[in-house]
Structure 1
Amino acid sequence: MCLAMPAQVVEVDETTDMATVSLGGVRKEVSLALVEDVSVNDYVLIHVGYALNKISEEEAQKTLELFAEAGLAEATS
């Protein structure tokens, strides 16, 4: 079973195809090799250092709320 977490893109480095994402105040560098057209403030699903796909802000917030209810993440907002 895999678990992908939604995170907001805060910085994009197009020369390396990498992005810095933020999730619960934690920043992490992830690869954008699997996703196209990612910009700052987009939300992406991340898993083991890769952005898997873009999602809407609404879907990201809904997913994070469900993770918080399950005790897997802190609530955001």
Structure 2
Amino acid sequence: MCLGIPGEIVEMLPDRADLALVEVAGVRRPISVGLLGPDGVGPGDWVLVHVGFAMSKIDEAEAAATLQLLEGLGQAYADELDALAASDIT
């Protein structure tokens, strides 16, 4: 199962305008923010992350509700977090 997981942007990577450091459930990884268009995102914004890409910008309330739902999925959510922790798109 592939899930889109909410993550909070911690910082924009200074040497790569298309990458941001995102925290998802304690895991920090660089992700691509290039699909979000010219307005983009910045630190403190929440995004929906799927396979190393920010797919959309979401608000904090939507992020919290989605995380609560995903935690209820059990192993599928744990597997997705493990895959995120092992990923590296740089």
- TM category, shorter: 0.7 to 0.9
Moved over 3 A (4+): none
- Equivalent position SS for 1:40: coil
Q: TM-score, normalised by structure 2?
A: 0.73
Gaps of 5+ in 2: 82-90
Q: Tell me the amino acid that sits aligned with residue 67 of structure 2.
A: L
Please tell me the root mean square deviation across aligned C-alpha atoms, in Å.
1.9
From the two aligned structures, give the one with the greater strand fraction: 1
In the alignment, what sits opposite 1:19?
A: 20
Give me the whole-angstrom Cα distance separating, in 1, the residues matched to 2:56 and 2:36.
Answer: 6
Larger RCO: 1 or 2 (CA < 8 Å, sep 6+): 2
Equivalent residues in 2 for 1:1-77, closer than 5 Å:
2-13=2-13, 15-16=15-16, 17-36=18-37, 37-71=40-74, 72-73=77-78
CA-to-aligned-CA distance 1:34-72 (integer Å, 9 cap, x gap): 013201010001111111110000000000000112212
- Equivalent position SS for 1:34: helix
From the two aligned structures, give the one with the greater helix fraction: 2
CA drift of 1:24 comes to 1.0
Corresponding pairs, count: 74
Give me the whole-angstrom Cα distance separating, in 2, the residues matched to 1:69 and 1:35.
Answer: 28
